[in-house]
Structure 1
Amino acid sequence: MNPLLWIALVTAAIVLSLWFPRWRLKRALARPLPPEGLAVLEKNIPVYRHMPAPLQEQLRRLVVQFLYQKKFVGCGGLEITDEMRYTIAGQACLLLLNRQTQVYPELDTILVYPTEFIVTRNEVGPGGVVTPSANGLLGESWGDGRVVLAWDHVQRGAADWTDGHNVVLHEFAHQLDSESGAANGAPYLPSVSSYRSWATVLSRDFDNLRHDAIYQQHSVMDHYGATNPAEFFAVATETFFEKPYQMAEHHAELYAQFLQYYKVDPRDWMAPPVEPEHMASPFPNFAQHW
């Protein structure tokens, strides 16, 4: 074969391999979120109705891209439904609003179990003795491009957007954390100075939460966040999106760091909690939407 012709064919193949996926994605994004998808967002992401129109549009677009690029697999006999796909995608994409980022580029598959799933791991004890241990989990973020979720707890997170517990937000925060190369509580940040202030504030609040957990003192954040820095970031993310007023009051500097990172303020979508907290809904006129 003529060398020039061979070079031309190889070049054309490379250009086509780069262009065609982008063209397909562009075509997919040109399609609006269908009415049934919008209904799921309104039902299972209560704050969606209170977002400004540009953010709503941005979230819908992110959901379309998420569903185009990611694969859902039902486990334990569970059959994946559109409600599952739209609910998980919608909650996961809340973490991407207003941020110049790809849509979880390392993620390929979401595994969904009907309820708590069992994971067996080897635990190393004294003397190096290895003992298999079975643990029941509600969700997990793996470094091989997979997230695992228990659907009943996804539903619980959707049903109560004020308790600071949301398995989707938690596991997808781990995905963001790992984009920097390791899940260590320090996601990708724009500058060295950003890492300095992030480390200072999060290390201090992590130590404070560990103290609260040891002495069983009340905290705005779940004590599970005291497990390690990665879990602290994930729990703090849940708190930021579901209990923003409480977090801003009790962890002002931490809240400011999360404002800079997530580039949204969930207080804009929620009314301040009324004391006693359990007596009132944080969503204005929320009952009218059901």
Structure 2
Amino acid sequence: MEALLWTTAIVVAIALGMSYPGWRLKRALAQPFPPAWLNILERNIPIYRRMQPELQAQLQRLVQQFLFQKKFVGCEGLEVDDEIRVTIAGQACLLLLNRFTRVYRKLHTILVYPSAFLVPRNHADEAGIVNPVRQELLGESWGDGRVVLSWDHVQRGAGDWTDGQNVVLHEFAHQLDSESGSNNGAPFLGHPGSYRNWSEVLSRDFNNLRHEAMFHRQSVLDHYGAVSPAEFFAVATETFFEKPWQMAERHADLFDQFLQYYRVDPRAWLAPPAPEPDAGHEPEPPSYGTVYGQWQ
């Protein structure tokens, strides 16, 4: 009888263990990285081939965890396949390299539209009258654990890794920003003493970008970052990963803050750009979801 009780207890323990999320995640991460997924990373993340083997292995593991834990939903008839899932996960997980992380712990769902999508907004006219409008967006990060993306623009970001515009990096930077408790351009930095330098540098460069945007002056940072501190952090993240050489040259202090925060140096993955001639006015910035806030 006693042996039977022990056997029953062991069976129950094994059954409970197999259903425990941590055990299932460990089992998923123990699986070899599928060759088809590797092909997608190499194809849609141009810098992947130039990353050190340790970072490639890290990214693969992060992608496996991301895909195990997050749900993808296709919208407007879009059928979500591995091309979509791995491309988005791979770009999003670039922001998590070299750090202990629960892989966007508050995020649970990624909604993917075939192209730019419309969202309802309230717009106040010159008389102060608020009217409902529908705004076209490329991506949006929500505080309830969801990110919305346009697959067409995800592909564009994957196709050009030097233009400083990447909707996945942008929206997932917002997710990191929100982990500190609010979307205000000051993500969790790990140590309270880090916020003083962060605030001084980002506030100064944010105000400079607002001035440049007001007078349509050329900047390595997209003028959309002048909308708010939260958008500045997201735009600067895009610039850090796609235009690191230009950012380091023209915004040395800002680049140094992001170097400390993201713990990688994308200059190792991208060749220095050729000198650019003076350009005219900046083109209109892309329309991402706007989140307002301020540095603390």
- 1:110 has 2:110 as partner: yes
Q: Show CA shifts across 1:211-237 (max 9, x none).
A: 000000000010000000000000000
Tell me the amino acid that sits aligned with residue 129 of structure 1.
I
Any idea what SS the aligned residue of 2:105 has? coil
User: 1: CA distance between counterparts of 2:37 and 2:152?
Assistant: 19
- 1:170 has 2:170 as partner: yes
Partner residue of 1:288?
Answer: none
Q: Is the 8 A contact 2:119 2:134 kept in 1?
A: yes
- 1:255 has 2:255 as partner: yes
Where is the helix percentage greater, Structure 1 or Structure 2? 1
Q: Is the 8 A contact 1:110 1:146 kept in 2?
A: yes
State the TM-score, normalizing by the size of structure 1: 0.88
After superposition, residues 120-139 of structure 1 pair within 5 angstroms as 120-124=120-124, 129-139=129-139
User: 2: CA distance between counterparts of 1:47 and 1:151?
Assistant: 20
Partner residue of 1:92?
Answer: 92
Q: Which runs of 5+ in 2 are unaligned?
A: 1-8, 278-296
Following superposition, the deviation at residue 193 of structure 1 comes to 1.4
Partner residue of 1:186?
Answer: 186
Tell me the amino acid that sits aligned with residue 70 of structure 2.
K
User: 2: CA distance between counterparts of 1:19 and 1:250?
Assistant: 52
State percent identity of aligned pairs: 69
Q: Which has the higher contact order (CA 8 A, sep 6+)?
A: 2
Following superposition, the deviation at residue 133 of structure 1 comes to 1.4
Q: Which runs of 5+ in 1 are unaligned?
A: 1-8, 278-290
After superposition, residues 1-290 of structure 1 pair within 5 angstroms as 16=16, 20-124=20-124, 129-276=129-276
Distance 1:204 1:18, change over 3 A: farther
User: 2: CA distance between counterparts of 1:265 and 1:46?
Assistant: 15
Following superposition, the deviation at residue 18 of structure 1 comes to 11
Aligned residues between the structures:
266
Following superposition, the deviation at residue 122 of structure 1 comes to 2.1
Tell me the amino acid that sits aligned with residue 57 of structure 2.
E
State the TM-score, normalizing by the size of structure 2: 0.86
Q: Is the 8 A contact 2:18 2:24 kept in 1?
A: no
Q: Show CA shifts across 1:188-220 (max 9, x none).
A: 011221011100000000000000000000000
Any idea what SS the aligned residue of 1:192 has? coil
User: 1: CA distance between counterparts of 2:33 and 2:209?
Assistant: 40
User: 2: CA distance between counterparts of 1:17 and 1:230?
Assistant: 41
User: 2: CA distance between counterparts of 1:72 and 1:130?
Assistant: 34
User: 1: CA distance between counterparts of 2:104 and 2:239?
Assistant: 21
Following superposition, the deviation at residue 271 of structure 1 comes to 1.2
Following superposition, the deviation at residue 37 of structure 1 comes to 0.3
Q: Is the 8 A contact 1:32 1:61 kept in 2?
A: no
Tell me the amino acid that sits aligned with residue 179 of structure 1.
E
CA RMSD of aligned residues (A): 2.0
